[in-house]
Structure 1
Amino acid sequence: MTRIDFYTEVDKPADFACRLAHTVYKKGERLTVWLADGGALASFSTRLWCVSDTAFVPHCALDDPLAPETPVVLTERLPDSAAGVLLNLGPSYPDAPERFSRILEIVGRDEAALAAARERFRAYRARGFAIEHHDMSQRAP
């Protein structure tokens, strides 16, 4: 069954998302990153080029011909079939979340992010998914 991980109280969500993508990649898992729109996709792609001076996260857009062999794909729409891990940077609850082995949700500290995360949390819980909570408030950025 799909496991959901909520990372809450994240100080810099965009930076944390890149580090999380790098971690999933280093574990050898396939990662789909779902973003709100083309601007967010382009911005996140740029950030992945700069994870650190010595790290690289190979990635491309879902519609790129290299997507089937690229470990991290970025998309504005979820694929019909999926496997691996979903990093949800989109604005809503994913349809058919059971397509993924894990879903990663990052929650910043602003009220809008908290409200949206609460809605997604309730939707996951209502569907019976196992949810892990990771409080990042005491962790170094």
Structure 2
Amino acid sequence: MTEVAFHFNAPAKLAHACRLLRKAVGSGAQVVVTGDDDLLCALDSELWTFSPADFVPHAHLGQAPSVVVERSPVVLARSPRAAAHRQVLVNLGDSVPEGFEDFERLIEVVTGDEDDRQRARRRWKHYADRGLGIVRHDLKDSAG
């Protein structure tokens, strides 16, 4: 059964995702990140520039050669089902990601924006209605 965690009150969705991915890669995890195309392109750029001391190896599914995607610990994919990794799924999008139940863990990143919070509440209800336990991380109460 998929473990679900919501990271609420992210000051900036992409910056939080970059830190989250750096930590995941450092621990040896394989991650798929999903969201709309514009958001994934922005994350791709952000991953190259967010820290001068760190690099998070990643590939954008459909834009990088398949051998690069297969070897990358982080895969950016509009459709998570198309990616080979099944360990961790990070959702930066507005809706429940198709195929989330195929992953060991799902992390939802939510800002303080009221529209983003409302969409997150709908996703939370979707997961809860399926009997999934949900962990809530309030980033306002932590460093981040």
The answer to whether the superposition gives a TM-score over 0.5 is: yes
Matched with 1:34 is 34
Cα RMSD over matched residues?
1.4
1:82-108 CA-partner distances (Å, limit 9, x unpaired): 511001012200223221110110111
The Cα shift of 1:42 comes to 1.5
TM normalised by structure 2 equals: 0.90
Unaligned stretches of 5+ in structure 1? none
Could you tell me whether the CA contact under 8 Å between 1:82 and 1:99 is conserved in 2? no
Matched with 2:120 is 117
Instruction: Give 1:46's aligned amino acid.
Output: S
Matched with 1:62 is 61
CA distance in 2 between counterparts of 1:94 and 1:40 reads 14
Instruction: Decide which moves more: 75-84 or 4-13.
Output: 75-84
Distance 1:96 1:41, change over 3 A: closer
Higher helix share: 2
Instruction: Give 1:134's aligned amino acid.
Output: H
Aligned length: 140
CA distance in 2 between counterparts of 1:49 and 1:96 reads 28
Deviating beyond 4 angstroms after TM superposition, the runs of 4 or more aligned structure 1 residues are none
Instruction: Decide which moves more: 74-83 or 10-19.
Output: 74-83
TM normalised by structure 1 equals: 0.92
Instruction: Decide which moves more: 82-91 or 117-126.
Output: 82-91
